[in-house]
């Protein structure tokens, strides 16, 4: 026979032992908050004035990290990804050089995403690509659409 102390413990014990889930829920929320704070949100602003050209063979690039974005509007003005208007090749070269120096050691290497309006002149596209080359960028991605979605 068991002692009276053991019998009283066994009588008050529940049939179903339960696990306390609150520490695990707390940990999940802490991890969620940590990853939200630690990650960097990438926001790409799309210029509403740009209607990109249509290319049947266009392919969506897999990695957009480390990409400098320049837009060329139909009137020949250049805007950077943050919306600031740049006028000359020298301003574009300065911006590209600063960006390239900041992300020089990152993988993948910095590249230029050039989104131009379908009516922009080739001369303007050449200005931006030349300025990017002078700034140290040797990979240029041209933005285009696979279908005429903006027609």
In sequence order, the 6+-apart residues with CB closer than 8 A to the CB of 71 are 47, 50, 78, 79, 80, 81, 115, 116
Q: Judge contact between 117 and 72, C-beta under 8 A.
A: yes
Q: Where is pLDDT greater, at 101 or 151?
A: 101
Other Cβ atoms less than 10 A from the Cβ of 68: the count is: 22
Q: State the burial class of residue 77 (Cβ atoms within 10 Å of its Cβ: 0-12, 13-18, 19+).
A: middle
Domains of the chain in sequence order: 67-142 (3.30.420.270)
Q: Which of 93, 87, 72, 39 is nearest to 144 (CA)?
A: 72
Using a pLDDT cut of 70, give the percent of the chain over it. 74
pTM summary value: 0.60
Residue 148 in this model has a pLDDT that exceeds 60? no
In angstroms, rounded to a whole number, what is the distance separating the alpha carbons of residues 76 and 38? 39
CA atoms within 13 A on the CB side of 147: 1
CB-neighbour burial class of residue 83 (10 A; exposed 0-12, middle 13-18, buried 19+): exposed
Of 103 and 34, the one with more pLDDT: 34
pLDDT band for 27, please (50, 70, 90 cuts). Answer: very high
Whether residue 32 has pLDDT greater than 90: yes
Is the preceding omega at residue 14 within 30 degrees of 0, hence cis? no
- Asked if residues 68 and 81 have their Cβ atoms less than 8 Å apart, the reply is yes
pLDDT value at residue 79: 79
- Residue 37 has what pLDDT? 86
54 vs 61, higher pLDDT = 54
pLDDT (average), residues 9-23: 74
Q: What is the pLDDT of residues 77-123, one digit of tens each?
A: 877 766 667 667 778 788 878 877 776 766 667 778 888 888 888 88
């Amino acid at each position: 026979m068991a002692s009276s102390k053991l019998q009283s413990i066994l009588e008050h014990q529940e049939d179903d032992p339960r696990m306390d889930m609150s520490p695990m829920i707390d940990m999940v929320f802490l991890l969620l908050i940590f990853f939200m704070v630690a990650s960097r949100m990438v926001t790409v602003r799309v210029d509403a004035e740009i209607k990109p050209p249509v290319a049947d063979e266009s392919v969506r690039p897999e990695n957009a990290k480390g990409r400098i974005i320049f837009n060329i509007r139909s009137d020949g003005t250049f805007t950077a990804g943050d919306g600031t208007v740049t006028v000359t090749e020298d301003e574009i070269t300065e911006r590209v050089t600063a960006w390239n120096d900041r992300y020089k050691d990152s993988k993948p290497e910095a590249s230029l995403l050039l989104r131009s309006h379908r009516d922009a002149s080739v001369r303007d596209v050449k200005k931006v690509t030349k300025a990017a080359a002078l700034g140290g960028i040797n990979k240029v991605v041209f933005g285009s659409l696979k279908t005429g979605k903006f027609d």
